[in-house]
Amino acid sequence: MTTQQEKATAFRALHERAGVFIIPNAWDAGSAKLLASLGFEALASTSLGLANALGRVDGEGAVSRGELLANCEQIAQATPLPVSADLENCYAHEPRAAAALIPLAAQAGVVGGSIEDATGDEARPIYDFALAVERVHAAVEAARSLPFAFVLTARADNFMHGRRDLDDTIRRLQAFEKAGADVLYAPGLRDLAAIRAVVAAVG
């Protein structure tokens, strides 16, 4: 049986090798088994997929923290593959409270996870820059306190919430990198030029 440490080592190696790898989203144990049978090397959970599978519309509060963690455990136990969790905004605004979800996700069996800079508030959808960076820093500290190398992904969600500010997105990703995030993610980029600009701007 593959240990969590072995899964974590394999997952980090996928990020460090030359080229790219594709990580598909599983929404339950059955989809995890199906994706594993297709030859994928790692899996990610999906808050959207989980909400839809539960018959709900994705959004703030659509899935409880307990439901998310239970889903992480189901997916992690379904196959020997490493799993990275979509942890949304970590179900808290304050940095330490948000970071508290990282060890809980690890206990559920995943070896990586993401923290968003999206607030869940339509009026102010993105955390202020300083708070967003504080949240990532706290999550990094929580990840590094674990007995294995948890892969932390920091997301800059401007483009997912109608804020098509590439300069601010890059600024955030650079700050998240400096704070210690292992993986940087800017979902919603609309064209190759924007993708190239982001890739060129970060490590």
134 and 37 in a common domain:
no
174 and 115 in a common domain:
yes
178 has a pLDDT exceeding 80? yes
60 and 105 in a common domain:
no
Task: Give the per-residue pLDDT at 61.
Answer: 80
What are residue 46's phi and psi, to 5 degrees? -145, 120
Out of 78, 102, 121, a domain closes at 78
| H/E element, 153 | strand 151-155
103 and 125 in a common domain:
yes
Task: Give the per-residue pLDDT at 175.
Answer: 99
- Please report whether residue 9 resides in a domain: no
**Confidence bin at 2 (pLDDT 50/70/90):** confident
Q: What is the pLDDT of residues 98-138, one digit of tens each?
A: 999 999 999 999 999 999 999 999 999 999 999 999 999 99
Out of 38, 55, 78, a domain closes at 78
- Please report whether residue 161 resides in a domain: yes
CA–centroid distance for 6 within its chain: 20
68 and 138 in a common domain:
no
- Please report whether residue 197 resides in a domain: yes
In one-letter notation, the amino acid at residue 26 is A
Out of 35, 54, 78, a domain closes at 78
Percent of the chain with pLDDT over 90: 95
Q: Sheet with 83-85: list strands edge to edge.
A: 25-26, 43-45, 83-85, 112-115, 151-155, 183-185
- Number of independent structural domains in the chain: 2
What is the mean pLDDT of the segment spanning 6-17?
Answer: 98
What are residue 189's phi and psi, to 5 degrees? -60, 140
181 and 100 in a common domain:
yes
93 and 70 in a common domain:
no
What is the mean pLDDT of the segment spanning 37-64?
Answer: 93
- Please report whether residue 7 resides in a domain: no
156 and 106 in a common domain:
yes
Residue with tokens 């959808």: 125
122 and 35 in a common domain:
no
183 and 146 in a common domain:
yes
Note down the domain range covering 166.
87-203
Q: What is the pLDDT of residues 139-149, one digit of tens each?
A: 999 999 999 99
74 and 119 in a common domain:
no
What is the mean pLDDT of the segment spanning 74-86?
Answer: 99
150 and 104 in a common domain:
yes
